[in-house]
Amino acid sequence: MNAPDRYERFVVPEGTKKQLHRDPNVLFAGYKLPHPLQYKIIVRIQTTSQSSPTQAYSQAIDDLDKELDSLKKGFEDEKTRFEEKLRQGY
């Protein structure tokens, strides 16, 4: 069973927040959804003087994109290996 759409809205902001917390220049990262019926997310990022919130957010998105590409490649590689084993009769 898939989760209802109302739960899907938390995936992107939560992943972004966790990625921001990995950045040593980020002092605080959080988000809130003002109301469940509004498709609006408020993001708050506090950084050191070495980085701006915009830079930290952009870097977090880029890092997440790279992680997802790596995950996709790993999945496709394993799928190919599995299909090859099936063709060989395992």
- Which structural domain range is residue 79 located in? 5-88
Residue 87: predicted pLDDT: 92
Single pTM value for the model: 0.74
Residue 37: predicted pLDDT: 85
Rg (CA), the chain: 18
**Number of folded domains that form the chain:** 1
Could you give the CA distance from residue 46 to residue 9 in angstroms, rounded to a whole number?
23
Residue 61: predicted pLDDT: 95
Cα–Cα separations (whole angstroms), residue 82 to 68, 87, 88? 21, 9, 10
Tens digits of pLDDT across the chain (90 residues): 455 555 555 677 888 999 999 999 999 999 998 887 888 889 999 999 999 999 999 999 999 999 999 999 999 999 999 999 999 987
State the CATH number of the domain containing residue 40.
Answer: 3.30.1360.10
Q: What DSSP line would sit under 39-74, residue for residue?
A: ---EEEEEE-TTS-HHHHHHHHHHHHHHHHHHHHHH
